A and B are shown apart, each in its own frame.
Chain A
Amino acid sequence: MRIAGEVLRNLFRKPATIQYPKQQTQIEPDARGRHFADLKKCIGCSLCAMDCPSKAIVMKKLPEDKKPPQNRRGLYPVINYLNCIYCYRCVTICPVKAYVTSSEYRLATESKVLTSEELSLSTLSR
């Protein structure tokens, strides 16, 4: 009889699973997701690239016409998201708090390369 009650209750219960991707997973707003450097703040010190545990950050040269005044070295970090382990060491070690963080976790892509290059460069034109 206990089982019969359980069966009846389960008939009218909502399913425990969700219809992803039609329905989105609830993620904490401060969960560690995709992040990139804001080049209006970045000074190109390379600390994040040195401390990255998975060596996912490479320092690249800024385009000559887009050099912000504070960035004398002319370097900016490019994160390879496919290597990144999302530990946020770069975010916490940054001396000027240049990293923009988000809880974006959906990083599936068809391309073989997925980096923060475009996102970072777009901060300059804002």
Chain B
Amino acid sequence: MAEAREKATVTLEIPIGPQHPALHEPILLRVFADGEEVIDVEVVTGYNHRGIEKLCESNSYYRDLFLVSRTCGICNTIHADVYTRALEQILGREPSQRARYLRVLALELERIHSHLLLAATIAEIVGFDTLFMLIMRDRELVMKAKEILTGCRVHADYYMPGGVRRDIDEVKRSRLLEILNKLEPRVHKYITLFEEDPTINSRLLEVGVIKPVDAVKHGLLGPIVRGSGIDYDIRKLEPYDAYDEIPFNVIVEKGCDSFSRMMVRWRETVESIEMCRYVLTHLPQGEAVVDEKRLPRAFPKGAAFTRGEAPRGELTYYVESAGGPNPYRVKIRTPSLNNLINSRFVYVGLSVADVPVTFASFDPCISCMERIVVIDRRRQVKKIVSFRDLALRRVRV
């Protein structure tokens, strides 16, 4: 890429971000262009590093549960879910059948609202502000559903090793079903709008094309890889919670462009509504809420690696326990990290105006991905720091 930049004549260098009206989160795209044509893009990250993994080591397992769910606001339940499953593996506990179904319900509601949020953002960047308002209005229905289920619109704090933290009764169940029934026709209306509207089509169709081979080569995940025609969904490959019992289809589109990525998300939204409905109508009887007072404080020695399908792709957690109340190591790999850092090749050949839309079609989540430490590149200093020194805070990074 850098050679391409040297060969071609770069007449423009445009910084998009870290604060930019089109990108809602802090990331810098340094766009090198020859006139209107993009030659290269440098993705510069590091504006939102909070050191969550390090904090996890100095807090107890249960405090970490609330901390890891704050890695990302939009996809907080999947973070908590994957971390909780890792703890369950170490403890050797299994959640009840009803708890597993309720977990799926929370995850799918989150997927719906995350996809609706991105659709609204795309509409706004494309220049269709009315659609942004309409989708955000209907997203409120899902937020209400999350509030009914978990007790909070955004941060669910719904997961606990061995089960969930609150149950639903018959009244809540019927209210959730009512909300889903109200939402579904509206989603179908927006899908038709996305398919037919000339503004959206001309901004998204055949823009930001990712060939299937490139998607695999660069390790892209989630709706991006599915939008390039590759069937890769952790919910089907390695079913967790109750995904093995709930019927659903993996949505794959073969268009490979920004439009097909959006279509994957829209069709997944419809699929998720169906799944929520299935969960609510087939909810098993039994106990779902775990008594938190009876959970063990100290964990046995062991390690667990778990993964799940977040709205943006595969999310993985590695939790290592050396015994005692605090974890020895918590490693989080979020899908946005793969999707954004490796997205550089997509922008080449686009016009400058298409860069924000293409970037947004990756569903960027900066707060999710930034837990890596950026080491001083300006001074060209390479220093190997042992993990022990890092843990004992002997070095400053």
**Contacting pair B151 A28 (CB below 8 A):** yes
Complex Cα gap A89–B166 (Å): 12
Complex-state Cα separation, A89 to B292, whole angstroms: 9
Would B157 and A87 count as touching, CB distance under 8 A?
A: yes
Q: Is A28 in contact with B148, judged by CB distance below 8 angstroms? A: yes
A10-69 with Cβ < 8 A to chain B = 16, 27-28, 30-32, 51-54
Query: Which chain B residues border A92 with CB–CB below 8 Å?
Result: 165, 292-293
List the B side residues contacting A30 at CB < 8 Å: 151, 166
Segment of B61-69, B218-226, B271-279, B363-371 in the binding face: B61-69
Q: In the complex, A51 Cα to B60 Cα: how many Å?
A: 8
Interface centre among B62, B65, B157 (most CB of A within 10 A): B157
Q: Is the CB of A31 within 8 A of B147?
A: yes
Q: Enumerate chain A residues within 8 angstroms of B188, measured Cβ to Cβ.
A: none
The answer to whether B59 touches A32, judged by C-beta atoms less than 8 angstroms apart, is no
Closest to A103 in B: B151
Cross-chain contact of A53 among B63, B152, B293 (Cβ < 8 A):
B63
Q: Which residues of A contact B166 (CB under 8 A)?
A: 30
| CB within 8 Å: A-B pair count | 46
Query: A81: CB under 8 A from chain B?
Result: no
Of the candidates B66, B67, B137, B147, which one forms a contact with A28 in the assembled complex, judged by CB atoms under 8 Å apart?
Answer: B147
Which residue on B lies nearest to A26, using beta carbons? B144
| Complex contacts, B155 vs chain A, CB 8 Å | 85-87
B197 to chain A, nearest CB (A): 12
Known: A31-B147, A53-B59, A87-B157. A93 touches B292 (CB 8 A): yes
**A:67-110 near B, CB below 8 Å:** 85-89, 92-93, 95
A51 to chain B, nearest CB (A): 6
For B165, the closest partner residue in chain A by CB is A92
Interface size (B, Cβ < 8 Å)? 19
Residue of B nearest to A6 (CB): B130
Q: How far is the CA of A86 from the CA of B147 in the complex (A)?
A: 13
The interface residues of chain A lying within 8 Å CB-to-CB of B59 are: 53
Determine the distance from Cα of A92 to Cα of B151 in the docked complex, in whole angstroms. 14
Complex Cα gap A28–B166 (Å):
14
- B60, A31: Cβ atoms closer than 8 Å: no
Q: Which B residues lie within 8 Å of A31 (CB)? A: 147, 151-152
Q: What are the residues of chain B within 8 A of A87 when measuring CB–CB? A: 66, 155, 157
Contact of B151 among A51, A85, A88 (CB under 8 A): A88
In the complex, what distance in Å separates the CA atom of A24 from the CA atom of B60? 39
Return A33 CB to nearest CB of chain B, in Å. 9
The chain A residue sitting closest to B137, CB to CB, is A16
Contact A86:B137 (CB < 8 A) given known A53-B66, A93-B293: no
- Seen from chain B, the residues whose Cβ lies within 8 Å of a Cβ on chain A are 59-60, 62-63, 65-67, 70, 137, 147-148, 151-152, 155, 157, 165-166, 292-293
Measured CB to CB, the residues of A under 8 A from B are 16, 27-28, 30-32, 51-54, 85-89, 92-93, 95
10 pairs from A and B in contact (CB 8 Å cutoff): A16-B137, A27-B147, A31-B152, A51-B62, A52-B63, A53-B63, A53-B67, A85-B66, A88-B151, A92-B165
In the complex, given contacts A53-B62, A89-B62, what are 5 additional A-B residue pairs having Cβ atoms less than 8 angstroms apart?
A: A85-B66, A85-B70, A86-B155, A89-B63, A89-B292
